Structure 1
Amino acid sequence: MGACAALNCTSTDRIKATTDIAGPGVLYAYIVSALLAVAAVAFGYLSDSLPAWYLNETDEAVIASFQTWLPSGKNVAPLKWLYVKIKNVLCFGGPSSPHRKLSRQQRQEVLTRFVLTLSDQQLATGLAILIAAVANQCTLSVWEFQLAFSLAWFSSTTHLATLDCLHEYFLEHGAVHNWRVLGMVALLLLLMYSLVMNLASVDTTLPVACTFLYFGDRGLYDQTDLIISDILSISLTLIILTWQYVVRIRWSYKNKETKPTIVERTLFSLRTRRFREALQPTKKELDLILEEAAAEHDSTSRRRELERIRISKGLQYHWLVAWRASCTYSESFLSLGPMLCFMISFGFTQLYVNRWHSLAPVDIDTSMSVGQIMPLFLLVLPPLVAAESYYGKSGATWMLIDC
């Protein structure tokens, strides 16, 4: 805190923003990486390139419906003919190799490599910018701190979106997954702290550390307490943010198999006590029997529910159909999307308003320095990783056109 020894909490006419936070290269790199991540998740879902156990009947219906809208082979025949001609020209008249179609498992591996690289980038950059902002509270202005928070929010929500595609990878790499979860928890705590500081800060030209001098008041020279609407606003935002992290972390640890609940285990133990005393099965055998019994119970319940819908009529029929559709949707992969879309939109809006529509007088150096160019070049890594995986799976050579 040596830099805070001479802390100046006097408002200034203009803010000279650091390019490491407000520079164009940094901003565009964050935006492009977020768009790439969202596009990769959407492509993996709609192209049926996710593991089958991620999806339920709602997802399968949506994917099948989307793929029926795609152009048929007859409609794209002219484009295929043109593509073959271009390949022949680029191969200097020689015959080009036929297009290699990847299996679903191979598509999953390519998508996982691509999304994993993007996911780790988003987590690392979110942590880096918030740690740097918190460590430099004595010199960073409130405006720069707010922009850093907007970038970190944007990065964290994009990272949450990528987790849905990496479920199987995390189960297979448990130790590394735990380290990633620790990073997510650290990022969540930093986001919560930054969000509170943003609410408490009023004058955007002051250093962030000055906020502690009037924390809980509406300004440095205004001793009026914060109004209840501001407190409710930040509380709701914190609840939504924390809930999304809890849901995603819990989802990432969910096993492929549906494990029996504590209630089911207790009932099973009570009902089979006599048989267990007589047959004395091992613990592994008991677990297998219990899982099979739970699966049979789920199947029976589903059959009864569908039969009840079949024999119902009128308003009852529509109500039961709507109820089942709602329950099925809530358990689908698709149901994870709306809240994430809201959070990403919220983050983009914050970033846009704070950076391009801020009322604060700001001077920003827009020259493309090393700190601006480096984040843009890092965007090349995910496509390179995906290309390496693709060409390794398809057996093709490292060329844009496989001759």
Structure 2
Amino acid sequence: MVDCSYLSDENRFPDSFRNLDPNPDISGNGVLIGFIGTAYFSFLLLVVQYLMGSSEDTKLDVSANPVDKKLLSFIWRYLGKPSDRYKEPLKNAILAMSDTQIVTGLSILASGFSQLNSGLGIFHWNIVAYLAWFSSVTHLCTLTFLRRYFQANPGIRMLRMILMLLLALTLAIALLPTGGACGPSYEYNRGVYPGAPAKCCFLLMGRRHGFIADDGAYIVSLIISEVGFCKDLVKA
């Protein structure tokens, strides 16, 4: 069990909370490389797919954006247009990366929530929240090139919608305590240290310190970004 009694008396703040213990399941090099690496690989695939000029995948009416047409024509003039034989493999790769982003986002959040009662520190909780947010944004980007696929597969679209809503809801909850004293700029003078239990941050919400930072609204923007998380899939 996590002892948060120090919230009512900061003089009782345990010295052990001042130290940050390693947590390779969340902040290990392999975990970070796995998350960031797959995200950048997904971005690379999206860039290549864009250069293919496959408007039938991004728009259901098969129309092309005039700006995209001019830009792609300019690029193709100097680099040449990629062969159409790569369209289907690219689409399958983007679909696989899209699935990966949802799974990794949900898995890191599940790992974080499961460790709350074990004393997961504030530092690692912030990593959990921001890695999951990074995965959700990357996944949202992949949907741009999967509209027609989901339009043709309503069952898969509904399953994806459920998973997206689950990810958005859990991520919004995870982001809430990161906006105030438990955010990236820890308030040491108030007994908040990177090694302090993240569970206590949820108890801290609504108290005099609040959970929305006074000097910035970045946490609000992160949560608002989740409101439109399912827009592309709904439009499909």
Q: Give the TM-score normalised by the residue count of structure 1.
A: 0.48
Matched, 1:135 2:125: no
List alignment gaps of at least 5 residues for structure 1.
73-100, 218-222, 254-403
Name which structure has the greater RCO, CA cutoff 8 Å, separation 6+. Answer: 1
**1:131 aligned partner, one-letter code:** A
Question: Distance in 1 between the 2:120 and 2:24 partners?
Answer: 12
Could you say which residue in structure 2 is the equivalent of 1:265?
none
Structure 1's 135 and 58: CA in aligned 2 closer, same or farther, altered over 3 A?
Answer: same
How far off its partner does 1:228 sit? 6.8
Counterpart of 2:34 in structure 1 is 29
Instruction: Give distance in 2, aligned partners of 1:21 and 1:126.
Output: 12
- Indicate whether 1:181 and 2:171 are aligned: no
5+ residue gaps, structure 2: 7-13, 187-191
* Cα drift, residue 16 of structure 1: 0.9
Name the CA distance, whole Å, in 1 between partners of 2:89 and 2:212.
51
Structure 2 counterpart of 1:239, one-letter code: I
CA contact (8 A) 1:192 1:238 kept: yes
CA drift at 1:231? 7.6
1:207 is paired with a residue whose SS is coil
Could you tell me how far apart the structure 2 residues matched to 1:71 and 1:46 are? 10
Are 1:210 and 2:200 matched, yes or no? Answer: yes
- Given that residues 142 and 208 in structure 1 are in contact (C-alpha distance below 8 angstroms), is that contact kept between their aligned partners in structure 2? yes
Task: Label 1:242 to 1:224 Cα distance change in 2 as closer, same or farther (>3 A).
Answer: closer
Taking the TM superposition and a 5 Å limit, the aligned residue runs for 1:98-177 are: 104=84, 106-138=85-117, 139-177=119-157
CA–CA distance in structure 1, aligned partners of residues 130 and 175 of structure 2: 10
Question: Which residue identity does 2:145 align to in structure 1?
Answer: C
Q: 1:190 aligns with which of 170, 178, 189?
A: 170
Give distance in 2, aligned partners of 1:54 and 1:110. 22
* Alpha-carbon spacing, 1:228–1:17, altered in 2? closer, same or farther (3 Å): closer
Between the aligned partners of 1:48 and 1:227, the Cα distance in structure 2 is 43
Change beyond 3 A, Cα 1:224–1:121 = closer
Please state how far the C-alpha of 1:235 moved relative to its aligned partner.
2.6
Task: State the Cα distance separating 1:49 from its structure 2 match.
Answer: 4.0
Count of aligned pairs: 213
5 Å-filtered alignment, 1:4-403, equals 4=2, 10=14, 12-51=17-56, 53=62, 55-70=64-79, 104=84, 106-138=85-117, 139-200=119-180, 201=182, 202=186, 203=192, 204-217=194-207, 223-224=208-209, 229=214, 232-243=217-228, 245-251=229-235, 253=236
Does the 8 Å CA contact 2:161/2:230 hold for their aligned counterparts?
no
- Tell me what 2:10 maps to: none
AA aligned opposite 1:34: A
Could you say what secondary structure the match of 2:21 adopts? strand
In structure 2, relative to structure 1, the CA distance for the partners of 1:28 and 1:158 (3 Å cut) is same
CA offsets, 1:93-116, max 9 Å, x none? xxxxxxxx95x3x43211111001
Change (3 A) 1:45 1:233: closer
Letter matched to residue 70 of structure 2:
A
TM-score (norm. length: structure 2): 0.80
CA displacement 1:209-245 (0-9 Å, x = unmatched): 112332234xxxxx455677358443333223323x1
Q: Deviations over 1:98-135 (max 9, x none)?
A: xxx95x3x432111110011110110010011122122
Flag the structure with larger Rg: 1
Instruction: State the Cα deviation string for residues 126-158 of structure 1 (Å, max 9, x = none).
Output: 001112212221221111110111111111111
> Matches of 2:105 and 2:91 in 1, distance apart?
21
